Amino acid sequence: IFAGDHGVHAQGVTAWPQEVTAQMVANFLGGGAVCNAFAKQVGAEVCVVDVGVAAELPPTPGLLPRKVRAGTADMTAGPALSREEVTAAIEVGIETARDLVAAGNKALLTGEMGIANTTASAALISVFTGTDPAEVTG
């Protein structure tokens, strides 16, 4: 699970406080989330990659600290990430997949966690598809 906070949270796009991202990461690492139940059923492990959680996360088994920055900037005020940060974040994904496969994993399933992620996802889908943001978000 790749985790990071979104600066657009400052615009009030969600009812949830940004601290929930770090709380959910702790829940994943503690085995208390639905993804953990699914993983247990198939004998898989859950690991969390901190690519950009705003909070500092304590070292914990299963946590891969790969922070590019502590949360993105507010995309309504300018770029959420610089080109260099985007490249670094993509490289984190590539390196994580490479390392997990090298460790003997046969299948990798990805997930994400970050409060205000729906707004960021909708913005990307809107740009990539040319669809009006209101249609993308419902």
Give the amino acid at 100: L
The alpha carbon of 12 is separated from its chain's Cα centroid by a whole number of angstroms, namely 19
Structural domain count, the chain:
1
Q: 10 Å Cβ neighbour count for 100?
A: 17
Query: For the stretch 88-99, what's the b/e string if a residue is b when 16 or more beta carbons lie within 10 angstroms of its beta carbon?
Result: bbeebeeebeee
Distance (Å, whole) CA 71 – CA 67: 9
Distance (Å, whole) CA 60 – CA 27: 12
Which CATH number does the domain housing residue 115 bear?
3.40.50.10210
Range of the domain at 47: 2-137
User: Dihedral (C-alpha) 131, 120, 84, 76: value to the nearest 10 degrees?
Assistant: 90
Measured at the CA of 118, the angle between CA 33 and CA 73, to 5 degrees, comes to 105
Q: Does the model's pTM come out above 0.85?
A: yes
pLDDT in tens, the chain (138 residues): 999 999 999 999 999 999 999 999 999 999 999 999 999 999 999 999 999 999 999 999 999 999 999 999 999 999 999 999 999 999 999 999 999 999 999 999 999 999 999 999 999 999 999 999 889 886
Total residues found in the chain within this entry: 138
Terminal CA-CA length for the chain: 26
